[in-house]
Amino acid sequence: MARSPGRRPLAQWLVTGAGPWVVGDIDTQPGDVEAFRRENERAGLVRIRRLAVLLMLLNGAAWLTDPWLLDPLPGVQPAMAEGRFAMTIFGVGVLGASYLPPSAAVALAWLSGATLCGGVAYTMGRIGGPSTSWFHSTYPFLFVALLGWAAPLHRAAIVTAFTGCVLAAYFGPHPAYLADPMAGSAIVHLLLTAALVLAVGLGLDRARLRLFLYGRAAGRASARLEARVAEQTQHIQALLDRAETAREDERRELAAELHDETGQVLTGMRLVLRAARARAERAGSPLAPVLAQIAEMMQELGWTVRNLLVRLRPRVLDDLGFVAAAEWLAQRTDALPGLTCAFEARADDAGLSAARATAAFRVLQEALTNAVRHAEASRITVTWDSASESRVLTVADDGRGFDPASPTAGLGLAGMIERARMCGGALDVRAAPGRGATIELTLPIETEEATEDARGGAP
C-alpha cells in the first residue's frame, strides 16, 4: 500500500481509513482509496434514499396508530402529530437533497442525520422528561450514522455530533430535565449507545474499505492473468501456424521429389521390362511369365506411388487451383462403390490465397474421408459458393450423423477448425445422430479493392 507522502500511519488511518494495519496485506494502487470514497458516496446516497422512504412509511403507519396507542396519554398526541408532520416534510427534503451533486448531497445527508436525531429528541422532550421512557426512543436514531462510510476521524465527529444534537435538543429547551433523578442514567445510556455506534461504525468502515480494495486487487489480478493467457494462446497459435505451414511445405517438397525421382526410375524400369518381356516371349523363354508377373507388380507399384503423391499434395491443386482440385477429389469419392458424390461450383476461386486454397482442400479431404469412413452415407454433396467477401465450402452427407458436442479421440475435426482459424475463416459443424452431417467452411477472399488497397491504391 502506497503511503501518502509525509503522513504518519496513525494520521493516515484517522484521515483516510487506509492505515497500514488495515490495508497493508492487500495489493492496492494509488487512487484505489479515492475510487472507494467515490463509490461509497454513490452507494451511501442510494442507501439514504431507501432509508428516507422507509422512515417516512414507518412514520406514516405509526401516525395512523397514534390515536389508539397515545389516547391514554394526555397531551402527547398533538406534540407527536407535529413531530410526525415535521418528519415527513424533512424526509421529502432529504430525498430531494440526495439528488444534488454528490459532495453537496453527502454533506447535506450527514447534516440531515444530525437534524433527524435533534428533531426526534426535541419532540420526545416536549412529551416527557428523563423519568419517562420517551428519551430512550432517541437511541436508535444514532444508528443512522452507520449508513455511509466515513474515515475514523470523520466517524468520531459524526457520532459526537449526532449525540450532541440529541442532548441539546432534548435538554436545551427544558434545562429543568437535568435535575431529574433519571437524567444521569438517561445520558449514560445515550453515551453507551453512541460508543456502540462508534465501535460498530469503525468495524464496518474497515470491512467496507477492505472488501472494496480486495475486489479491485482481484480484478487487477484476473486482468493480468487474462492477458497472460491471451499472450500464451497467441504464442501457441503462432507455433501451430508455423508447424502447419512447415508440414505443408514438406509435403509439397516430398511429393515433388517422389514424383521426379521415382517417376523416372519407374518409367525406365517399365520400358526395360517391356523390351525384356518381348525378347523372352519371342525366344520362348520360361522367364516370360515371370517377367509378366513383375510387370503387373510394377503397375501396382506405380498406382501406389501415384496415390501417395496425391495424398501428399495433389498437383492439380497447384496447377489448376482449388475448384478443379475439389472436383477431382469429389470424382475420386464418387468412384467408390455404393456412394454418389456430387460437386457443384457456384463460384470461382479467384482471390483465394494459396494458403487458403490448401486449407480448403485439406478440409474437403478430411470431410470426405469422415463421410466415407464413419457416415455410411449413400450421397455426399459438395458445394463451393460465394458469400460477401468470402467463399463457402459445404460438404453434406445423408449418413448416420453424430453429436459434434461429444468429445472424440480423433484429430480430423479439430484440425479442420484449426485450419479455418489460421486462415481467418470459420468452420461450422452441423450434425445430429441419425440426421446426417454438414461441414461448412467459410474463408475470406481478397477482393480486388482490398488488393488495390494493399498495393497502396496504385492503378
Ligand X SMILES: Nc1ncnc2c1ncn2[C@@H]1O[C@H](COP(=O)(O)OP(=O)(O)OP(=O)(O)O)[C@@H](O)[C@H]1O
Buried (b) or exposed (e) across 310-337, using 16+ Cβ within 10 A? bebbbebbeeebbbebbbbbbeebeeee
List 121, 359, 437, 445, residue binding ligand X (CB under 6 A):
437
Q: Does 440 bind ligand X (CB under 6 A)?
A: no
In the bound complex, what is the minimum distance in angstroms from residue 414's beta carbon to ligand X? 6
DSSP-derived pairing of the beta strands 340-345 and 379-387: parallel
Q: Are 117 and 141 in contact (CB under 8 A)?
A: yes
List 32, 205, 349, 397, residue binding ligand X (CB under 6 A):
397
Q: Which residue is nearest to ligand X (CB)?
A: 410
Total of chain residues touching Mg ion, rule CB under 5 A? 3
List 402, 419, 420, 445, residue binding ligand X (CB under 6 A):
402
Q: Does 399 bind ligand X (CB under 6 A)?
A: yes
List 16, 370, 394, 442, residue binding Mg ion (CB under 5 A):
370
Q: Does 259 bind ligand X (CB under 6 A)?
A: no
Pairwise CA distance, residues 23 & 1, whole Å: 7
Q: Binding string to ligand X for residues 406 to 425, with x set by CB under 6 A, is what?
A: --x-xxxx------------
Q: In the β-sheet with 426-431, what is the strand arrangement from edge to edge? A: 340-345, 379-387, 390-397, 437-444, 426-431
In the bound complex, what is the minimum distance in angstroms from residue 427's beta carbon to ligand X? 12
Cell of 283: 525366344
State how far Cα 384 lies from the chain centre. 35
In the bound complex, what is the minimum distance in angstroms from residue 370's beta carbon to Mg ion? 4
Q: Which of the listed partners (Mg ion, ligand X, none) does 411 bind, with a CB threshold of 5 to 8 Å by partner kind? A: ligand X
Cβ count within 10 A of residue 252: 15
List 332, 400, 421, 430, residue binding ligand X (CB under 6 A):
400
Q: Which of the listed partners (Mg ion, ligand X, none) does 28 bind, with a CB threshold of 5 to 8 Å by partner kind? A: none
Pairwise CA distance, residues 341 & 332, whole Å: 9
Pairwise CA distance, residues 125 & 113, whole Å: 18
Q: Which of the listed partners (ligand X, Mg ion, none) does 440 bind, with a CB threshold of 5 to 8 Å by partner kind? A: none
In the bound complex, what is the minimum distance in angstroms from residue 267's beta carbon to ligand X? 34
In the bound complex, what is the minimum distance in angstroms from residue 392's beta carbon to ligand X? 18
Whichever of 272 and 411 has its CB closer to Mg ion, that residue is 411
In the bound complex, what is the minimum distance in angstroms from residue 433's beta carbon to ligand X? 9
In the bound complex, what is the minimum distance in angstroms from residue 385's beta carbon to ligand X? 20
Instruction: Give, as ranges, the residues between 323 and 382 that touch ligand X (CB under 6 A).
Output: 370-371, 374-375
- Piece of the chain touching Mg ion by CB under 5 A; list 80-88, 215-223, 319-327, 412-420: 412-420
Q: Which of the listed partners (Mg ion, ligand X, none) does 397 bind, with a CB threshold of 5 to 8 Å by partner kind? A: ligand X
In the bound complex, what is the minimum distance in angstroms from residue 366's beta carbon to ligand X? 6
DSSP-derived pairing of the beta strands 437-444 and 390-397: antiparallel
Whichever of 205 and 397 has its CB closer to ligand X, that residue is 397
Helix axes 76-97, 32-69, angle to 10 degrees: 150
What is the contact surface with ligand X in residues (CB under 6 A)?
Answer: 370-371, 374-375, 397, 399-402, 408, 410-413, 437
Binding site for Mg ion (CB under 5 A): 370, 410, 412
